[in-house]
């Protein structure tokens, strides 16, 4: 009871006065306020509301004319025994006469005689009826007084004659429930209550005297779903923030890349399975991207015999045309090698969070388009321990507690590692990392160690959002999106 607002109390009192049942419009309060109070009382189980669609009618211009002048079939037959139709038409107009004769004939008030000319002859019934008030007229008078208790047949006729228009209205009724009765029977008194403490109340000292309304902390509150960023976008924002806070700068690349930058520059041999049409999307337009001849030559030598890197290379014949092929980048390591090629002077700490493409069949754990969180640290004395430290720090900041590293292999790093996090008792691989090999760094004049990593975003998102289907991230399921709490 103490948790009821004055409006709720007022509504309860009105309900009690009206035997527990009332139409909201009948209450001397603004309708929105009544409905609002009713909704709150309903959530507390004290009232119930019902809604009925009821039909109401409105008199049209034509209907008003009927009301004022009487039905037209009455008018044209007035003082008539037998009359030439043409004469009537001259007096009342052709259209009105034809409509009126139609209704008069249907009602048996007249008949038509056809000689050289057409005559209208009134019947005995017609003579009687035109003196009386007709059911249509009575109905219109009732409608004018907002009394809609009218025979369905007459309504039909009036609608057909376009004398009335139908309108639908919702009729609401508020009822007291048994619990509501219990409360009102105890007696409700309305006193001035304060529901919000303001600086004025404190300053004036009024707070000592006033009565505060108690909060009902169990009261129902409607859920609201304001616009918010998509969970993946939120995660990207969070990751951006983490790397920025760790002193990294963000870089960007392009979807379309050459084999040269995506693979050759990273010392991925040209017969590597990842280059297969099965795994990589090659582009038709453009199908080739020009690369500086000297640069290709240098990388060709690295692949063939190690060139100036001290390596013996892959020992095969490098195909320069192959290097120019255009493709959709398969990893964002292409962003970092390009950055290093343009900025060979250390130190550098950069990252990118961008989309990559692989020819994967879509299923609950695979998507052909996904994001990678890529990064490098390029500085004197950078080492493998630092790499592990950075990755551990990143995943810890993302909220993972159990993280482990496993030895791994990539053609462009040595040593290499794989990072796994524990989820539901299982170790899940989230990405790879390592230190760029001399075959990658030396041709670009990179002189200090480069720690590099490429981590999957969607897999991590699945874990953080508790999804067992990766596709959910792209389904746009509104209910899921609405109810998902904010991540940042």
Chain residues that interact with ligand PHE, rule: CB under 6 A: 331, 333, 410, 413, 432-434, 452-454
CB of 327 to ligand PHE, least distance (A): 14
Taking alpha carbons only, the member of 230, 302, 246 closest to residue 481 is 230
Of 34 and 470, which CB lies nearer to ligand PHE in the complex structure? 470
Rounded to a whole number of angstroms, the minimum distance from the CB of residue 463 to ligand PHE is 17
Residue of 416, 426, 354 whose CA lies nearest to 391: 416
Question: Smaller CB distance to ligand PHE: residue 180 or 253?
Answer: 253
**Least distance CB 343 / ligand PHE (angstroms):** 17
Give the nearer residue to ligand PHE in terms of CB position, either 66 or 261.
261
CB 165 within 8 A of CB 48: no
CB of 43 to ligand PHE, least distance (A): 53
Residue in the shown chain whose Cβ atom is closest to ligand PHE: 454
Looking only at Cα atoms, what is the longest distance across the chain?
126
Of 214 and 272, CB closest to ligand PHE:
272
Q: Which is closer to ligand PHE, CB of 100 or CB of 330?
A: 330
Residue 9 or 371 with smaller CB distance to ligand PHE: 371
Find the shortest distance in angstroms from Cβ 331 to ligand PHE. Answer: 3
CA dihedral 385→386→391→393, nearest 10 degrees, is: 110
Tell me how far, at minimum, the Cβ of 458 lies from ligand PHE, in Å. 13
Least distance CB 432 / ligand PHE (angstroms)? 3
Minimal distance in Å, beta carbon 254 to ligand PHE?
Answer: 17
Whose Cβ is closer to ligand PHE: residue 341's or residue 487's? 341
Q: Which residue's CB is nearer to ligand PHE, number 280 or number 413?
A: 413
């Amino acid at each position: 009871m103490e948790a009821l607002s004055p409006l709720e109390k007022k509504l309860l009192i009105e309900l009690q006065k009206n035997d527990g049942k009332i139409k909201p419009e009948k209450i001397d309060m603004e309708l929105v306020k009544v409905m609002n109070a009713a909704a709150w009382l309903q959530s507390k189980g004290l009232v119930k509301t019902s809604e009925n669609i009821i039909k109401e009618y409105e008199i049209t211009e034509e209907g008003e004319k009927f009301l004022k002048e009487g039905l037209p079939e009455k008018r044209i037959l007035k003082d008539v025994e037998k009359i030439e139709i043409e004469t009537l038409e001259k007096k009342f107009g052709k259209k009105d006469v034809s409509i009126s004769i139609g209704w008069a004939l249907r009602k048996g008030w007249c008949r038509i005689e056809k000689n050289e000319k057409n005559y209208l002859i009134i019947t005995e019934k017609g003579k009687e009826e035109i003196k009386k008030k007709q059911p249509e007229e009575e109905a219109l008078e009732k409608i004018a007084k907002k009394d809609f208790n009218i025979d369905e047949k007459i309504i039909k006729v009036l609608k057909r004659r376009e004398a009335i228009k139908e309108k639908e209205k919702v009729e609401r009724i508020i009822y007291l429930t048994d619990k509501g009765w219990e409360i009102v029977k105890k007696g409700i008194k309305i006193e001035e209550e304060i529901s919000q403490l303001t600086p004025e109340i404190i300053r004036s000292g009024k707070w000592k005297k006033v009565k505060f309304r108690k909060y009902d902390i169990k009261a129902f509150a409607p859920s609201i779903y304001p616009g918010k960023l998509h969970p993946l976008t939120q995660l990207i924002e969070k990751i951006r923030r983490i790397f920025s806070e760790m002193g990294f700068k963000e870089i960007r690349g392009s979807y379309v890349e050459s084999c040269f930058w995506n693979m050759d520059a990273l010392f991925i041999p040209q017969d590597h399975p990842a280059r297969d049409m099965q795994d990589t999307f090659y582009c038709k337009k453009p199908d080739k991207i020009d690369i500086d001849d000297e640069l290709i030559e240098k990388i060709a030598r690295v692949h063939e015999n190690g060139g100036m890197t001290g390596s013996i290379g892959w020992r095969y014949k490098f195909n320069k045309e192959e290097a120019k092929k255009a493709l959709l980048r398969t990893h964002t390591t292409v962003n970092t090698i390009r950055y290093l090629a343009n900025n060979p002077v250390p130190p550098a700490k950069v990252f990118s969070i961008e989309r990559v493409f692989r020819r994967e069949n879509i299923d609950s754990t695979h998507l052909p388009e996904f994001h990678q969180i890529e990064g490098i640290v390029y500085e004197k004395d950078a080492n493998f321990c630092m790499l592990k430290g950075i990755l551990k720090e990143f995943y810890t900041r993302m909220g993972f507690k159990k993280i482990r590293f496993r030895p791994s292999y990539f053609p462009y790093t040595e040593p290499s590692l794989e990072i796994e996090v524990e989820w539901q008792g299982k170790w899940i691989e989230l990405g790879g990392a390592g230190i760029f090999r001399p075959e990658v760094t030396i041709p670009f004049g990179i002189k200090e160690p480069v720690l590099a990593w490429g981590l999957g975003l969607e897999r991590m998102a699945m874990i953080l959002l508790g999804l067992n289907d990766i596709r959910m991230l792209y389904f746009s399921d509104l209910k899921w999106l609405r109810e998902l709490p904010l991540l940042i």
